Structures are given as structure tokens and as C-alpha cells.
Structure 1
Amino acid sequence: MTLDSLAIGQRARILAVDWSCLAPDEGERLRALGLDTGARVAIAHRGVFGGGDPIALLIGRMTVALRRAHAAAMTVETL
């Protein structure tokens, strides 16, 4: 399952990230925010326009807006 397919409020742990799908600078920013293998996340909200883009993602006590394409590059397991 990928991160973009999680339901709102569902918790998950990132198992893998396909960094080749992302530009190098985007990958660096995501790693700096803590979005890497092992991170525990939850979907807080989805955008109402453009197919649910962006996704508001909870990482610990922080909320991060993430593009749907970036979330699709992350394989997760639900908790």
C-alpha cells in the first residue's frame, strides 16, 4: 500500500521510499522533515480540489503538506 491510499486518520509506518520518483532536492527536503523509512505518519486532511492534492500529513506533532505524487512514492504498512 502507498501513503496516498491511506484513509484520513489512518496511522502507518513508512516501509520504503522510491527516491528515484522524486527530484534530488525534493528528496532532501522530505528527509529533513523526517519522511524516511521507519517514520510513523497519519493522514490529517486531503485537499478538496485537484483529486485530493495536497495531503496534510502528521509526523509526530508536526503537520506537513505533501503532494500526492510524493506520497505515492512511499510504501507503508498500517498500524
Structure 2
Amino acid sequence: MMQTTLDTLPSGAKARIIGFAHGGGWLYRLYQMGFTPGAIIEVVANYGKGPLIVRIMGAEVAVGRGIARRILVQPL
């Protein structure tokens, strides 16, 4: 099972969330938006700097690069 972080995925890639590196208050907010282990996400835009735009549960959400580095995913 190959594992990487969300910030490394190119635009158009799909992945399954497998966990999170480090905890914190941001984790609860991600859970509220649907970022839970097992959820499938699609990277809509990743330009290599600035926030990533991802589609999760039918909604497009902007995720800061620092947070994206802490989201562990398995590319599909």
C-alpha cells in the first residue's frame, strides 16, 4: 500500500484518506468537512504553491498547504 501526503498529488488525482500526521484543533474541523479515514477525495487544483482545491463528498474545499502535508492518503 503506497502512502503519501495530500500536497504531493497532482491535479486530477484521486485518493483515499488513510490518516493524519499529528493532531490538533485543525483535525476536528477537517472531520466536520468530511475528511475522515476511508473518504475518497479528488484534487481539483494543485499548482505547487498556495492552497489545494479538493473535491470531497461532492463539495469543493480549499485546503492550506501546511494542513495538506499532514493528510496521509493512498492514491487510487
Specify the TM-score bucket, using the shorter chain as the normaliser. Answer: 0.7 to 0.9
**RMSD in angstroms over aligned alpha carbons?**
1.4
Q: Does 1:16 align with 2:19?
A: yes
CA distance in 2, matches of 1:15, 1:61: 19
SS in 2 for 1:37: coil
Letter matched to residue 6 of structure 2: L
Q: Does 1:76 align with 2:76?
A: no
The equivalent of 2:57 in structure 1 is 60
Q: Does 1:36 align with 2:44?
A: no
SS in 2 for 1:70: helix
CA distance in 2, matches of 1:16, 1:30: 11
Runs of 4+ in 1 over 6 A off after TM superposition: none
Letter matched to residue 39 of structure 1: A
Unmatched runs of 5 consecutive residues or more in structure 1: none
TM-score, reference length from structure 1:
0.83
CA distance in 2, matches of 1:38, 1:68: 21
Unmatched runs of 5 consecutive residues or more in structure 2: none
Q: 1:34 to 1:19 in 2, by over 3 A?
A: farther
Q: Aligned pair count?
A: 73
Q: Among the aligned pairs, what percent are the same residue?
A: 30
TM-score, reference length from structure 2:
0.85
